Structure 1
Amino acid sequence: MTHVDEDALAEAYNKGLELEKAGQLDEAAEAYRTALALDPSDPGGVSIRLAAMGRAASPERMPEAYVATLFDQHADVFDDILVEQLGYCVPVLLREKARALGLGPFARLLDLGCGTGLTGVAFSDCADHLTGVDLSEQIVEVAYDREVYEDLYVGEAVSFLQEFEEEDGTRSDWDFIAATDVFPYLGAIEPIVRAAANRLTEQGIFAFSTETLPAEVLNGRDYMVGRKQRFAQSDDYLKRVLASEGFDILAMDPITVRMEDGEPVPGHLVVARRRP
């Protein structure tokens, strides 16, 4: 295991933050690149900051170390920040959309990036067995206290779909896979859509939320890191990948994902069915 000089890392990262805040983006980028060289696992998410500043191409996904650190740090106040301050209500919107489409009840529901369990709560009345998985151990502990999941795991969403087996070695499939507020941390969506298709029962449902940006900002790109340091995907990209992996789109509704700095963050609520 490579030793990381934590003091040097903190110094470079904090220098980058100060320079970025002061508007000295080239100098900030230099400091961030130093931090990235010191620890390529990137727990501070400097690769995302570089992309958001326009000083590097968007990576395919956020670093796992960064996402885990981010959510671990906010676990105790996660719901207050997300729901009360940011007006996040995607799990409720998804439950209403499932009802409107006549979907459910579900025998087995998998909640990817379950967070504190908001989607689990929203679907607790229409799923016999709920499984949750999240990268953040502290967040999973909060979800456990909600007592809505039969099973909870700490893990990355795509890896979980690709690798998970029951304790007896048998394979698990689900008839509903939800991924609310996961795609903004992924960028490239082919791996998660392909993995979800492979773990769904025949005509199973994959439902997720995305964030988006105006076409002129995306400028023909499938996805990019926006100014708020989260990924946005284009409509055409979503449709193309879902179709290529054997999904029919049942709904792709424009929604406000959250409020941020007093402004609505636009996105989509997508519900897709695996073809027989």
Structure 2
Amino acid sequence: MLPSELSSGDVIADRRADYAKMLAESGEPASAAELMEQALELTPNWAAGWFTLATYREKAGNTEGAIEALNKVLALDASDVFGARLKLSVLGAADLPDRPPSRYVERLFDDYADRFETSLIEKLGYSVPQKLAALIADTGGIPRDFRLAVDLGCGTGLFGPEIRARVDRLEGFDLSKSMLAKAAEKHVYDHLGQADLSLEPELSGVFDARLEAYRADLITAADVLMYLGNLHGVMAIVRKLTVDGAVFAFSVEDAQRPAGYVLRDSLRFAHSEAYVKEILAEQGFVVQNLARSVIRMDGGKPVHGILFITRKSA
């Protein structure tokens, strides 16, 4: 929940929500759902509360009830800051979306920023920055050093230190201001800016206008594209941001299927190798190197990914 929405505005409803959380954490989601229902009788317009109720109902095996609660969330919050449409798609109650709502992604990482690195690296074994940097270094036929590198979805700046020694200028862009603030603390990037990769592929309003005249010869996107389904827009952005011969290095979660992309229970997208290669070809990028690897853990299970090193045709 958003900090401003942790409270329903009603003391009794909040108390019941707190008890419901305790029951859920104790392994009693059905009882938790009953208490949340009582809380929402007092505060029927509390979108965060309805989303919490959907979570409890789903864990209790009440899929129909979860869907009902998620639809209530959407009726109360058109911006879909909680990602209710994504969850409805996972539950089979909505079509597969092209991308998540921008407000959902921004809120997710703003809330996550303070514990992001501890959680991702120490608990989930996240390893994409090191593996992607190593793959760039091991790929023949591409430059050893770069004039301008742009790190898309830079987050807290985990990839920056891995590539800094090989670039003259390093710029990072992310949707979350809180994540950018953490990246700034590393003093690795020459410039940091807010950008939404899910927008249409016009540079205006997305990236600093100077990039139109000073395009990059290296673009990176480590653990970013799993927050987009359809990759046509972001690939078009990369094409516009790069000079001929530029390197585009990135990772995706491996859909482990012959084509297309899927939305997983984690609410992250996974893409097939064939799907990614098709869009790369459309935008004039040729795959120079590719590696499959476990990129993190999730719920105690390995998440398989594909790392791509590509180059823009002249």
Q: TM-score, normalised by structure 1?
A: 0.91
Query: For residues 167 and 271 of structure 1, do their structure 2 counterparts lie closer, same or farther at Cα, with a shift above 3 Å needed?
Result: closer
- Please say if 1:236 is aligned against 2:274: yes
Question: Which of 42, 46, 54 in structure 1 is aligned with 2:80?
Answer: 42
CA-atom RMSD in angstroms: 2.0
The match for 2:188 is 148
- Please say if 1:250 is aligned against 2:292: no
- Please say if 1:95 is aligned against 2:137: no
Check whether the contact 2:102–2:198 (CA below 8 A) recurs between aligned residues.
no
Structure 2 counterparts to residues 28-107 of structure 1, below 5 A: 28-102=66-140, 103-107=143-147
Query: What one-letter code is carried by the residue in structure 2 that aligns with 1:78?
Result: F
Structure 2 counterparts to residues 191-230 of structure 1, below 5 A: 191-215=233-257, 222-230=260-268
Check whether the contact 1:133–1:157 (CA below 8 A) recurs between aligned residues.
no
Q: CA deviation at 1:14?
A: 1.6
Question: Which of 164, 175, 183 in structure 2 is aligned with 1:124?
Answer: 164
**Structure 1: tracts of 5 or more residues without a match:** none
Check whether the contact 1:249–1:271 (CA below 8 A) recurs between aligned residues.
yes
Q: CA deviation at 1:170?
A: 6.0
Supply the distance in 1 between the matched residues of 2:300 and 2:76 (Cα, whole angstroms).
36
Check whether the contact 1:158–1:195 (CA below 8 A) recurs between aligned residues.
no
Query: For residues 135 and 23 of structure 1, do their structure 2 counterparts lie closer, same or farther at Cα, with a shift above 3 Å needed?
Result: same
Q: CA deviation at 1:213?
A: 2.7
The match for 1:171 is 213
Q: CA deviation at 1:255?
A: 1.3
Q: CA deviation at 1:87?
A: 0.7
Query: For residues 268 and 169 of structure 1, do their structure 2 counterparts lie closer, same or farther at Cα, with a shift above 3 Å needed?
Result: closer
Query: For residues 92 and 161 of structure 1, do their structure 2 counterparts lie closer, same or farther at Cα, with a shift above 3 Å needed?
Result: farther
Q: CA deviation at 1:50?
A: 1.4
- Aligned pairs, how many? 268
Check whether the contact 2:80–2:104 (CA below 8 A) recurs between aligned residues.
yes
Could you say which structure has the larger radius of gyration? 2
Partner SS state of residue 217, structure 2? strand
The match for 1:275 is 313
Q: TM-score, normalised by structure 2?
A: 0.80
Supply the distance in 1 between the matched residues of 2:242 and 2:76 (Cα, whole angstroms).
40
Query: For residues 139 and 130 of structure 1, do their structure 2 counterparts lie closer, same or farther at Cα, with a shift above 3 Å needed?
Result: same
The match for 2:25 is none
- Please say if 1:22 is aligned against 2:60: yes
CA distances 1:30-86 after superposition (whole Å, capped 9, x unpaired): 110111122121110111111222222221011111111111111111101111111
Query: For residues 33 and 174 of structure 1, do their structure 2 counterparts lie closer, same or farther at Cα, with a shift above 3 Å needed?
Result: same
